[in-house]
Structure formats: C-alpha cells, structure tokens
Amino acid sequence: MTSPASSKRPLWIVAAALLLAAAALWGSSRLVWAAELRDAGVRGMVLDKHTGEQESVALVPLAVLALAGVAGLIAAGGWLRRVLGVLVALAGIAAGWIAIDGWRFGGFPVGAPTGQIFAGRGLALLAGILMLVAGLFAIKGAGRMAKLGARYEAPAGRKKAAKDPDAELWEALSEGEDPTTDR
C-alpha cells in the first residue's frame, strides 16, 4: 500500500513539469526566433527580428493551457485525469512541432542574435517535452495520484475494524440507543 505522501509525489511532479513548461513557453515567446535582412529603401539593408510570439501566436495560449492543465490535473481524478493527460500530451507535441518547424542551424545574416534564436526555440522544445512527459505521466498514474478533496470522501469500501465492546456501548449511547436492552 502506498503512503499518502508517495501518492501525492507524482501529482506534484506533473504540476511542477507543467509550471516549468508554461514558464518556458512564455519566455520563448519573448525571445527572437528569426532574423532576416530587408531593404528599407533610403536606410539600406535593415535587420528584421521576429519574436517567438510573432512567428507563432500559439506559444502564449499553449503556456496558458499548461497552467490550466495544472489546475485540471490537481482537481480531476480517474478517467477525467486521463483525458486531461491526453490533451496535455497533445499540446506538448504541438509545442515541440512549433519549436522545430523552420529551425535552421546556419545561414543567419550578420548581426543576427543566433544565441537568442537557439535559446528561444530550445525553450519551446523543452516545454513541449515537459508537457508530453507530464501528460503521459498523468495518463499512466491517474489512478494512483492523489485527488483534490480525497481526504474528505466517505470511506465506502473500507472494512469496519473490530472495536472495543466498551467503546461500542458509549457510541450507542451517543446515538440515542439504550445498549442495555435487547433489540
């Protein structure tokens, strides 16, 4: 039998992975993802920089989805947690695809912030991997993970432990029954 602390651990690992993924996606959306030279007429050739948000508008919504996934996976249980795990995993695949789509390793114009380009796309790829792993972990461990409010559920299937006969007499009195009479 697992202890309550060990049943909560997988849930918090998933929550931490999704929070890190959300932060990575948001940070990635702020970094430069592409740079190109364009002719600006009188000013000559100008370096145009595009942030992750300009290149893919889905980065910030995916970050919000990762945050919502934390709340949903904490609150849900059973089959609903598995469905949310599938959605989070699919969103992770989408984030990973966005990160690698159009990623190139050379041919940048002079003055392009290549470090920022690699960092931006790398953060999005890392976030996609974190979301995929968190989703798969939520699917696999949905039944074992702690559920919000589980402490307050009625112990439906639990066997009633053998009680002390004196304690049973006092409980009967507390419930308004006379334990000295035959029923």
More confident site: 140 or 169: 140
CA distance 12 to 155: 24
The three-class DSSP label of residue 149 is coil
Give pLDDT tens digits for 53-86.
Answer: 988 899 999 999 999 999 998 888 788 888 999 9
Give pLDDT tens digits for 36-49.
Answer: 888 878 877 888 88
- Residue found by looking up tokens 């004196």 in the block: 166
Rg of the chain over Cα atoms, rounded to whole angstroms, equals 27
Give pLDDT tens digits for 92-141.
Answer: 999 999 999 877 777 777 778 888 889 999 999 999 999 999 999 888 87
CA distance 92 to 142: 18
Give the residue from 79, 78, 75, 73 showing the smallest Cα distance to 134. Answer: 73
- If you average pLDDT over residues 20-25, what whole number do you get? 96
Note the pTM of the prediction, 2 decimals. Answer: 0.72
Residues paired with residue 46 on neighbouring β-strands, in sequence order = 38
Give the residue from 15, 141, 10, 108 showing the smallest Cα distance to 68. Answer: 15
